[in-house]
A and B are shown apart, each in its own frame.
Chain A
Amino acid sequence: MTGSLRQSMTWLHTWSSITAGWILFAIFLTGTLSFFRNEISYWMQPELHQSVPNEQSVIVAYDYLTEHAAQANEWQISLPDARKNTLDLSWTTPGEARERRRGPRVQLDASTGEPLEARQTEGGNFLYRFHFELYGMPREVARWLVGIVSMMMFVGIISGVIMHRKIFADFFMFRPGKKLLSWIDGHAISAVLALPFHIMITFSGLILLGNTLMPWNGEGHHGGPRDRGAGGGDRPAAVEVAKDFDDNPPFDKMFRHFEQQWQVPVDTLSISKPGTNKVTYTLGGGNRTELSAGRGGETSFTFDGNGEQISTRPANSEENTAQAVYNYFDMLHQARFADTPTRWLLFFAGILGTIMVGTGSVLWAVKRSKQQMGQFGFELIRGLNVGTIAGLMTACGSYFWANRLLSAELASRSGWEINIFFIVWAMGIVGGLIWRDRKGWLVQLSLAGTLFTLLPILDSITSSTSVFFALNNADWMRLSFDISCLLIAAVLWLSVYYLAVQKKGRRGRNVPASPAPKRKVKPLKTAGGEA
């Protein structure tokens, strides 16, 4: 501020980041997990695990609808895909009282057609909501808070780049086992190697919160026109229509046509006027080729009753450059478009972001441990580091455990899952404030490690089907959740191991109660040479 540019930037980087560090860590961690929110929700509803999709799933759905919703004038079928194993059906029937907003809907087993009743849970949506609206506070307040820390993050990233002049020249080296140097390297590597992601995710996060942070922008037409005139009371009266479901629709022909054209599987099918001679089938799939198109960037095909294509609803295309760029960031942040490899790439970069924030906070404490030991501010930050970083891992583990252990019939059980998450986290913070040294880290990391190690076993015991069933049926959503748990556990145990080794003071230089141990000693890293 009053020194050289580098000194000012170092000051700004340090203080902009450390004051927001813990909440940013929580946002980054839960946000990263949200890339897999469907998968997490699926894992957290073990009643759905028995559903195994097959080639005939669309027929299963069709048969269910002909039996239960013959008089409906439109059927919506959401087919199983890479992120969903069940059949989700909904329909609208003329004349039926509209007590539910979107008409009746049902979730089916994709091979047997039996309706599935999943337990009440927020699943991955809780983590998703938490990462931009926190919990238990007014939505606007939370959004302001998240917006402010995101801005601090943005300033932290940019000032961080300015303060290391040679940041891009020298970023492959990680020097393990060197205390402060290792922390610096770990922080720099996780920051620099995924820098495009960090900038993208922070910036797009900010523009998504733009309506909150800039109340003066626009004339309040946010949210877009929701009224499509379909709501209201003007519903056609119920008229019994003679329907004929004797012929099977030409699904094969239509699906082949669509899939040959786009090289992606059909995942939504809507049937209008089913059972009449005016029936039309509209097929859609993940065939988006542009992020800048925004919502509605997918192309769908409509077929008549004989399976001949009669029309195409082409994908949107955004003419305005500003809007196109905005849509690009919007879509990228929310990753709705992403297929499996892309999703994993985003997840991986998100993990690096989480590590960057975590190592940054720990680095702050390690750097100052000699001079400031015992001072209030220092001890507070040290304790909060333990409580947020290790504590949050434990809390996430407990959330998944609570999901399986709480009785499926418990009243407001989804609320209890969340309560347990926060109770465990609060205990982690209190524990962290009391035991701020290596012991605190050891205990909390071991606890989290234990929770995550046993999660696959818990999954196998408490789900309607065992893990072997998932293996047999290639249920990759569930398997990748379990494998990820084991990977997280491995990282946690590795950190515990390093801490324990360090404690024995192998290097002769016994550092008593040295602060901030290693978390995530992943095989990351490189060097950023600033000492």
Chain B
Amino acid sequence: MTILTLSTHPKFLVTLRTLCAVVGGYAASACLSLLLAQWLGLTERPAEAFIKMVFFVVFCTLIIWSFAINSHRKAFIHMAGLNAVVWAVYLATQGVSA
């Protein structure tokens, strides 16, 4: 099986798509919930509680959003883009506060 046929094989694409939603979604929602907690100025236990709640809501939304996009390619690009943006913002704010 050449790389070309593999990359268009439906099962492979579905697996990739799922991975993208789960791993990409996890990373992005982790970062987003950390950012939100930081932005609201929460610390310690309340921050932890807040992150737990926001994380799962965001994660679920991102998974559904990612599967709602009607092209594999677009889904990968959007998820990568989202991650790039949120992590860039997060790292930038960390740099400022550090």
Interface residues, chain A, CB within 8 Å of chain B? 1-5, 8-9, 11-12, 151, 154-155, 158-159, 162, 203, 206-207, 210, 214, 216-218, 221, 320, 322-323, 325-327, 329
Contact = CB atoms under 8 A, between A and B. Distances in A.
Nearest to B14: A1
A214 B53 contact: no
Given A151-B56, A203-B56, A326-B52, A4 B70 contact: yes
B42 to A, nearest CB: 6
Contacts of B17: 1
Contacts of B49: 207, 322-323, 325-327
B56 A1 contact: no
A242 B45 CA distance: 47
Contacts of A217: 48, 51-52, 55
Contacts of B40: 322
Contact of B52 (A1, A151, A154, A210): A210
B70 A1 contact: yes
Interface residues of B, number: 28
B72 interface: yes
A320 B64 CA distance: 31
Given A151-B59, A217-B51, A218-B48, 20 more contacts: A2-B70, A2-B72, A3-B70, A8-B67, A9-B64, A12-B63, A158-B60, A162-B64, A203-B56, A210-B55, A214-B52, A214-B55, A217-B52, A221-B44, A320-B46, A322-B42, A322-B47, A322-B49, A322-B53, A323-B46
B30 interface: yes
Chain A facing B: main interface SS: helix
Max chain B CB contacts within 10 Å: which of A1, A206, A218? A1
A206 B63 CA distance: 16
B8 interface: no
B73 to A, nearest CB: 10
Contacts of B50: 322-323, 326
Contacts of B63: 12, 155
B10 to A, nearest CB: 10
Interface of B: 14, 17, 30, 40, 42, 44-53, 55-57, 59-60, 63-64, 67-68, 70-72, 75
16 contacts: A1-B17, A2-B71, A2-B72, A9-B64, A9-B67, A11-B67, A12-B67, A151-B60, A158-B64, A203-B57, A207-B52, A210-B55, A214-B55, A320-B42, A322-B50, A326-B53
A231 B85 CA distance: 50
Nearest to A16: B63
Contacts of B64: 9, 12, 155, 158-159, 162
Counting from the closest, the 8 A-B pairs by CB-CB distance are A326-B49, A210-B52, A322-B50, A218-B48, A320-B46, A323-B46, A207-B52, A206-B56
Q: Is the interface of B mostly helix, strand, loop or mixed?
A: helix
A216 B60 CA distance: 19
Contacts of A4: 70
Contacts of B75: 1
Contacts of A206: 56
Which of B42, B67, B71 has the most chain A CB atoms closer than 10 A to its own CB? B67
Contacts, number: 80
Nearest to B50: A322
Nearest to A329: B53
Contacts of B57: 203
A323 B67 CA distance: 32
B15 to A, nearest CB: 12
A154 B56 contact: yes
B94 to A, nearest CB: 14
A203 B61 CA distance: 13
Contacts of B60: 151, 154-155, 158
A48 to B, nearest CB: 38
A118 B33 CA distance: 48
Contacts of B42: 320, 322
B77 to A, nearest CB: 15
Contacts of B71: 2
Contacts of B70: 1-5, 8
Contacts of B47: 218, 322
A221 B75 CA distance: 38
Nearest to B52: A210
Contacts of A2: 70-72
A323 B63 CA distance: 26
B7 to A, nearest CB: 15
A320 B42 CA distance: 9
A323 B40 CA distance: 13
A221 B46 CA distance: 13
Of the listed residues B49, B68, B72, the one surrounded by the most CB atoms of chain A closer than 10 A to its CB is B49
Contacts of B48: 217-218
Contacts of A12: 63-64, 67
A8 B52 CA distance: 28
Given A2-B72, A206-B56, A214 B46 contact: no
A1 B53 contact: no
A1 B72 contact: yes
